[in-house]
Amino acid sequence: MNIVMNKAEVLKDKPEGSLGFGDYFTDHMFVMDWTPENGWHDQRIVPYAPMMIEPAAMVLHYAQETFEGLKAYRSKDNNIYLFRPEMNARRFINSNRRMCMPEVPEEMFVDAIKAIVKVDASWVPTGEGESLYIRPFMYANQSKLGLEDANSYRFMIVLSPVGAYYPEGVNPTKIYVEDEYTRATVGGTGFVKCGGNYAGSLAAHVKARKMGYTQVLWLDGVHRRYVEEVGTMNVMFLIGDTVVTAPIEGTVLAGVTRDSIMQLIRDFGYKIEERHLDIEELMEYGRSGELKEAWGTGTAAVISPVGELYYKGETVVANEFKTGELTQKLYDTLTGIQWGNEKDPYNWREKVN
């Protein structure tokens, strides 16, 4: 792939203090365009800047948009690593197929990420728990108001130095179990990483926030009974000595962190069940104390302990609202591999520099 470079003449000052999540952007971005005649073309790295978009661009009306999220990590010995970027590439292909959008070949996707991360390598932060969040995304940019799959698309990558996703950091969060709104049903786009899924989730998110909860736990869209995922992450429960998480059957996002954590859990010797977990059953485990630990997994959220669940007026607490032993071990092992400070027996790391 030939990438034309147009470097920024003036570089930005780097942020100081707490990075938060997604508030700062680096000096450059990657852009390429797609048409049926030319396929993907005009690959370029240009200064990060506002862009022109036609008011009639189809994405603004019919939300034909997909995205991904992964991170670049700086190790103590100053190497920069990606974590299983081919998994993001494959998920992006699946998302784009479902949304009638062109596929970005796996190699092109990973090469574009490496190229932009190399250009903005000085932005990969060095602080504890900090990384460079990578946001590849695609949108329909044909101007047309008739509803159909577009005939021109743009793919871009922007980068953002980040710290912890939640204000709680890696401390336990409070989760609101949503029983009014639903997120996905089989045959829909629940497994797709598309902006529309997240837009539709905001009403529940705002409601939960007003009630003092950090996130929403979604139940299945048909029975409103079976636990699916949390707004920004997959979710797992340690019940007795078994870890339970929702199966990937078309409504839940196939998380890269989810997959990695399931591998670690197996290798730590725990049983793992991917099954439909009834919310009433989960609340009962909470009441009886059999719910030992709960945590979310996601690229942005990493491993985020869940301390409290609220469902229909009742609250149950996991592990006395403290980060559990297994949760901590999973966090330490995963982040040790991601930041390049531990051995990588699974070959999950990919060096950039």
- Positions that interact with ligand COI (CB under 6 A): 69, 232, 298-300
What are phi and psi for residue 96, nearest 5 degrees? -70, -35
Name which of 298 and 305 has its Cβ closer to ligand COI: 298
Identify the residue whose tokens are 């005009």.
42
Residue nearest to ligand COI (CB): 69
Q: How far apart are CA 60 and CA 206, in angstroms?
A: 23
- To ligand COI, the closest distance from the beta carbon of 86 in angstroms equals 16
Q: Nearest 5°: CA angle at 134, between 49 and 25?
A: 35
- To ligand COI, the closest distance from the beta carbon of 83 in angstroms equals 11
- To ligand COI, the closest distance from the beta carbon of 193 in angstroms equals 7
- The terminus-to-terminus CA distance of the chain in angstroms comes to 18
Name which of 82 and 300 has its Cβ closer to ligand COI: 300
Q: Is 140:59 a contact under the CB 8 Å cutoff? A: yes
- To ligand COI, the closest distance from the beta carbon of 165 in angstroms equals 7
Name which of 253 and 279 has its Cβ closer to ligand COI: 253
Tokens, residue 329: 């071990």
- To ligand COI, the closest distance from the beta carbon of 146 in angstroms equals 30
Q: How far is CA 247 from CA 60, 230, 272, in A?
A: 33, 14, 11
Name which of 69 and 188 has its Cβ closer to ligand COI: 69
Name which of 69 and 250 has its Cβ closer to ligand COI: 69
Strand 131-140 to 80-83 pairing = unpaired
Name which of 298 and 307 has its Cβ closer to ligand COI: 298
Say how many CA atoms lie within 13 Å of 115 toward its Cβ: 23
- To ligand COI, the closest distance from the beta carbon of 112 in angstroms equals 17
Say how many CA atoms lie within 13 Å of 151 toward its Cβ: 7
Q: Which residues have a Cβ under 8 Å from the Cβ of 345 and sit 6 or more positions away?
A: none
Q: Nearest 5°: CA angle at 116, between 114 and 117?
A: 65
- To ligand COI, the closest distance from the beta carbon of 292 in angstroms equals 25
Name which of 152 and 201 has its Cβ closer to ligand COI: 201
